[in-house]
C-alpha cells in the first residue's frame, strides 16, 4: 500500500488576511496628528526613492565593512564617515567635463549617508527570516503575512493623491522593476495602485492613444467610461475594486498623457531628448547605462514630474554561488546609481524651494543579508546563503539626503559573527517603513499602529 501522509492533517492556516486587514480595513482609532507631530521631518512636498536589491543582498561588505574576513572578504575604503565603506566598491569619481562635470565617488558621499547596521525584520525572534516569500512581505508591506504594498499605501494615504493637489503635479508613486521582491511593493490597497513598470524599455514603444487628431474624443471616453461603470455596478465589491483600478489607470493615462508621450521618457532610445535641464545622454552619464542606471534615469524623470515615492528594483543579489564576480558587479552598479542621485538631486531646484536633495531621502532595502559562510568568506559553492544567523538578519541599510544625519552609523555589530553588540540599538523593518510614511507626512499609524519612525536617521 502506498505510503501517504494524512492529508487531512495538513490543512493550512488561513494566512494573509491579518495583515491585509490591518493595512486597509482594520478598525482604526484616530489620534489627531499624534503620529506625525512627533516626527518633525515630515512634509507632503518630500520625496522618497527606495532602491530594492532583489534576492537578499550581502549588505555587510558594502555598508558595514568592518567585519571579519569571513563576513567581508572585500576589504574597506577609508572615509570620513563613521560607518565603514566597503572595499567592494570601485570608489572612483567620474569626471565627464562639460555641463555635467564630476560625479563624486562613494567615499565622497559617505558623509551624506547614515547607515544602520542592525536592521532586522524580527528583532524579538530567536532567528532571522530566511524565506524569500516572508521576507518580501516584510519589506514590501511591513507585515510577515503580506498585504498591500507600501507604495499603494502611499497612493492611498498621501495628501496629494487625495484631497490636495501639488502645484507641481501629483504624479503617482512608481514601482520600477519586475523582480519577485520588487513587485509586491505595488500590491494594491483597495483601488489604489502605483504606476508599475518592469523597466525603462517599456516606454520606448508607448504612444498612448495616438497623436493629436487620433486621440479618443470626449464622447468615446464617455461611452467607454459608461461601459466600465456599468460593469462595476453589476459586480461585487471585491470585483469592483479590480475594475476600478483599470478605470483609474485610464484616467491617469489621460491626465498625464503629456508625460507618457514625451520623448524624454524614452531614456535609452532618445538620447537627445531633454527635460528638466538634462538630456537622456546626460542622465546616462550620471547613472550609467546598466539596466539599474537606466531605471534610475527613468525614476528621476518621474521624480521631477512630482512623484512622491519611487521604488527601483535591481535583480541579481541572490548570490548562492559564484558570488565574487556577480556581487562586485552588482555593488558597483549600485554605487554608480547612488553617486548619480547624490549629484543630480543636489543640482536640481525643487518647485517648493531649495533643491530635491533637501526634500528627498534615498534608501535601500532587501529581503535579508547573507550567511552560511566559511573562513574564505564564501560557502562551498563560492557564494553565500540565508539561513537565519546574525550575519543574515542584521542588514546594513542606508538613508541619504539633505535631512539625513550624514556620516553616522546606527547600531553596532561584533566583527566575528555580525551579532548585535550588547546594548546597541536594533531597528525593525516595520519602523523603517513607518519612517518612509512619516517623511511623506502620512499618518503612519494608520498602516502600522504602534510603530515609531526612526528619527536617529535624521540630522
Partner 1 sequence: MTNKAIRFSIAFAMVVGASACGNDSAGADGTDTDALPTGDTSNPDDDDDADTDADASSGGDESGDETGGDTDDPPITDCDVATFDNVIDEAMCPHVQGEGVQPEPADQVEICRRLYIDLLGISPTAVDYEVDCKDRSVDEIVDDFMARPEYVLMSQRMWADVFHMNSELTYHAYIADLDAMVGQVYAPNPADQITLDTFALEAVTHPAFLGRWDGLDLIGFNFLSHFGRDASGAERLDIFPLFRMWEEREFTDPVQGATHRVVLNTNNCVNSALCSSDYWQAGDQVVIPQPSPGAEDPELNVIDVDLLTPEQWDAVRLPGQRIANSGEFYEAYIDRTLDRYLGYDLGTAVPAARQALVDLLEANNGNARVVDREILTALVYTATNSYDEDDKPDPSDWDPNYWHGPTKQMGAEVWLRSTQRLVGQVPGSCDHRYPEVMGTHPHSYPTTDGMTPDYAFRDTARLLGGCPDRESSFRETRAGLIAALTQATLTRDLCLAATEDSPIFPQQFIEDPNDEDEASLSAAANQIYAAALIRPIPETAADALHAGVDGCRDDSTCNPAQFAEHTCRLVIKSSDFLFY
How far CA 45 is from CA of 353, 398, 439, in Å, comes to 10, 22, 9
In this complex, which beta carbon is closest to partner 1, that of residue 14 or of residue 423?
Answer: 14
In this complex, which beta carbon is closest to partner 1, that of residue 114 or of residue 373?
Answer: 373
278-279 and 427-428: which strand pairing?
unpaired
In this complex, which beta carbon is closest to partner 1, that of residue 302 or of residue 398?
Answer: 302
238 CB-near residues (< 8 Å, 6+ apart): none
Among 40, 125, 242, 325, binds partner 1 (CB under 8 A): 242
DSSP codes joined into one string, 349-371: B-TTSSBHHHHEEEEEEES---B
In this complex, which beta carbon is closest to partner 1, that of residue 87 or of residue 306?
Answer: 306
In this complex, which beta carbon is closest to partner 1, that of residue 26 or of residue 281?
Answer: 26
Taking the complex as a whole, the smallest distance from the CB of residue 328 to partner 1 amounts, in Å, to: 18
Q: How far apart are CA 179 and CA 312, in angstroms?
A: 10
Asked if 180 touches partner 1 (CB under 8 A), the answer is yes
Query: All 3 cell numbers of residue 200?
Result: 525603462
How far CA 411 is from CA of 64, 112, 395, in Å, comes to 10, 18, 11
Question: From its phi and psi, is residue 305 left (phi > 0), alpha (psi between -120 and 50) or beta?
Answer: alpha
Residues within window 346-385 making contact with partner 1, judged by CB under 8 A: 372, 379, 381, 383, 385
Rounded to 10 degrees, the C-alpha dihedral 277/280/285/289 comes to 150
Asked if 42 touches partner 1 (CB under 8 A), the answer is no
Among 38, 133, 329, 376, binds partner 1 (CB under 8 A): 133
Contact stretch for partner 1 (CB under 8 A) within 1-9, 76-84, 116-124, 406-414: 1-9
Among 260, 262, 408, 415, binds partner 1 (CB under 8 A): 260
DSSP codes joined into one string, 402-431: TTB-TT-EES-B-TTT-PBPTT---EEHHH
Q: How many residues does the chain have?
A: 459
Among 118, 315, 360, 429, binds partner 1 (CB under 8 A): 315
Among 388, 390, 401, 411, binds partner 1 (CB under 8 A): 388
In this complex, which beta carbon is closest to partner 1, that of residue 347 or of residue 387?
Answer: 387
Residues within window 199-238 making contact with partner 1, judged by CB under 8 A: 199, 202, 205-210, 214, 216-220, 222-232, 234-238
Contact stretch for partner 1 (CB under 8 A) within 108-116, 157-165, 241-249, 420-428: 241-249
Among 190, 402, 407, 449, binds partner 1 (CB under 8 A): 190
Coil vs helix vs strand at 255: helix
- 347 CB neighbour count, 10 Å cutoff: 15
Q: How far apart are CA 260 and CA 265, in angstroms?
A: 7
Task: Reduce the secondary structure of 272-300 to three states and give it as a string.
Answer: CCEECCEEHHHHHHHHCCCHHHHHHHHHH
Among 42, 86, 149, 194, binds partner 1 (CB under 8 A): 194
Among 73, 86, 87, 130, binds partner 1 (CB under 8 A): 130
In this complex, which beta carbon is closest to partner 1, that of residue 340 or of residue 388?
Answer: 388
Q: How many residues belong to the site for partner 1 (CB under 8 A)?
A: 99
85-86 and 278-279: which strand pairing?
unpaired
> Strand ranges (DSSP E) for 93-141?
94-95, 102-103, 113-120
In this complex, which beta carbon is closest to partner 1, that of residue 194 or of residue 411?
Answer: 194
Asked if 51 touches partner 1 (CB under 8 A), the answer is no
In this complex, which beta carbon is closest to partner 1, that of residue 10 or of residue 29?
Answer: 10
Among 82, 248, 352, 424, binds partner 1 (CB under 8 A): 248
Distance of CA 388 to the CA centre of its chain: 23
Among 11, 29, 124, 353, binds partner 1 (CB under 8 A): 11
Contact stretch for partner 1 (CB under 8 A) within 24-32, 87-95, 109-117, 334-342: 24-32
How far CA 160 is from CA of 14, 156, 157, 361, 416, in Å, comes to 35, 10, 9, 18, 47
Taking the complex as a whole, the smallest distance from the CB of residue 200 to partner 1 amounts, in Å, to: 12
In this complex, which beta carbon is closest to partner 1, that of residue 77 or of residue 386?
Answer: 386
Taking the complex as a whole, the smallest distance from the CB of residue 409 to partner 1 amounts, in Å, to: 26
Asked if 126 touches partner 1 (CB under 8 A), the answer is no
Taking the complex as a whole, the smallest distance from the CB of residue 242 to partner 1 amounts, in Å, to: 6
Q: How far apart are CA 161 and CA 170, in angstroms?
A: 7
Amino acid at each position: 500500500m502506498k505510503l501517504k501522509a494524512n492529508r487531512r492533517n495538513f490543512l493550512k492556516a488561513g494566512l494573509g488576511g491579518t495583515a491585509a486587514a490591518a493595512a486597509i480595513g482594520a478598525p482604526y482609532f484616530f489620534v489627531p496628528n499624534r503620529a506625525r507631530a512627533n516626527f518633525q521631518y515630515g512634509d507632503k512636498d518630500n520625496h522618497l526613492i527606495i532602491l530594492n536589491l532583489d534576492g537578499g543582498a550581502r549588505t555587510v561588505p558594502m555598508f558595514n565593512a568592518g567585519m571579519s574576513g569571513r563576513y567581508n572578504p572585500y576589504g574597506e575604503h577609508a572615509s570620513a564617515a563613521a560607518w565603514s565603506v566597503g572595499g567592494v566598491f570601485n570608489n572612483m569619481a567620474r569626471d565627464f567635463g562639460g555641463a555635467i562635470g564630476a560625479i563624486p565617488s562613494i567615499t565622497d558621499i559617505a558623509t551624506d549617508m547614515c547607515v544602520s547596521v542592525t536592521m532586522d525584520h524580527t528583532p524579538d525572534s530567536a532567528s532571522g527570516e530566511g524565506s524569500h516569500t516572508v521576507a518580501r512581505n516584510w519589506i514590501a508591506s511591513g507585515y510577515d503575512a503580506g498585504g498591500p504594498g507600501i507604495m499603494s499605501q502611499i497612493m492611498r494615504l498621501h495628501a496629494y493623491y487625495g484631497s490636495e493637489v501639488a502645484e507641481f503635479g501629483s504624479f503617482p508613486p512608481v514601482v520600477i522593476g519586475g523582480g519577485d521582491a520588487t513587485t509586491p511593493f505595488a500590491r494594491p490597497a483597495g483601488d489604489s495602485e502605483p504606476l508599475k513598470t518592469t523597466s525603462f524599455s517599456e516606454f520606448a514603444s508607448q504612444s498612448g492613444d495616438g497623436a493629436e487628431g487620433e486621440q479618443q474624443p470626449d464622447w468615446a471616453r464617455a461611452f467607454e467610461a459608461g461601459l466600465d461603470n456599468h460593469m462595476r455596478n453589476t459586480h461585487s465589491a471585491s470585483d469592483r475594486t479590480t475594475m476600478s483600478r483599470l478605470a483609474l489607470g485610464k484616467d491617469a493615462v489621460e491626465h498625464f498623457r503629456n508625460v507618457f508621450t514625451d520623448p524624454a521618457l524614452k531614456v535609452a532610445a532618445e538620447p537627445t531628448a531633454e527635460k528638466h535641464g538634462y538630456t537622456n545622454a546626460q542622465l546616462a552619464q550620471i547613472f550609467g547605462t546598466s539596466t539599474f542606471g537606466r531605471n534610475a534615469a527613468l525614476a528621476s524623470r518621474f521624480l521631477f514630474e512630482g512623484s512622491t515615492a519611487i521604488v527601483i528594483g535591481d535583480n541579481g543579489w541572490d548570490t548562492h554561488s559564484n558570488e565574487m564576480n556577480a556581487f562586485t558587479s552588482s555593488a558597483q552598479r549600485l554605487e554608480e546609481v547612488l553617486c548619480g542621485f547624490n549629484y543630480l538631486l543636489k543640482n536640481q531646484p525643487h518647485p517648493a524651494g531649495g533643491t530635491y536633495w533637501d526634500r528627498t531621502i534615498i534608501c535601500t532595502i532587501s529581503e535579508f543579508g547573507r550567511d552560511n559562510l566559511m573562513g574564505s568568506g564564501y560557502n562551498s559553492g563560492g557564494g553565500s546563503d540565508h539561513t537565519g544567523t546574525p550575519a543574515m538578519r542584521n542588514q546594513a541599510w542606508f538613508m541619504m539626503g539633505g535631512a539625513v544625519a550624514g556620516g553616522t552609523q546606527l547600531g553596532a555589530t561584533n566583527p566575528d559573527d555580525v551579532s548585535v553588540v550588547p546594548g546597541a540599538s536594533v531597528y525593525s523593518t516595520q519602523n523603517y517603513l513607518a519612517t518612509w510614511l512619516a517623511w511623506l507626512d502620512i499618518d503612519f499609524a494608520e498602516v502600522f499602529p504602534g510603530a515609531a519612525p526612526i528619527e536617529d536617521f535624521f540630522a
